[in-house]
Amino acid sequence: MRLHSPLCPKCGAPARGTLDRLPGRADFNMEPGVDVDVEYGGNTEIWWDEQRTVLEHDDEPEGPTNRPIVCCHNGHTWPSVIDW
């Protein structure tokens, strides 16, 4: 793949990857009940088949006016056309 904007506009670092959404389930530390307080148990199951790259506009298909979001190692994000 080739990025049209491979360098971060804020710091000049190269893009490290795309910004993605990963749905999953964060487990509780015990079974909840009516009067039982629960906390997170420290384990999250990631649903890899549901992974999606973040686009500029979530409700539209990818295209020239709706580019994928990429990020650098400094955490800055920006849109870039990606040729596959």
pLDDT tens for each residue of 16-68: 999 999 999 999 999 999 999 999 999 999 999 999 999 999 889 988 889 99
pLDDT of 84: 82
For residue 55, what are the CA distances in angstroms to 14, 29, 41, 78, 82?
Answer: 19, 34, 31, 10, 11
Place of tokens 């890899």: 48
Q: Which value, to the nearest 10 degrees, does the dihedral of the CA atoms of residues 13, 17, 19, 20 take?
A: -170
Domain shared by 13 and 25, yes or no: no
* Counted domains in the chain: 2
Helix (H) or strand (E) holding 16: strand 15-18
Query: What residues make up the domain containing 81?
Result: 1-19+54-84
Work out whether the CA dihedral 36, 39, 41, 44 comes out positive or negative.
positive
pLDDT of 75: 97
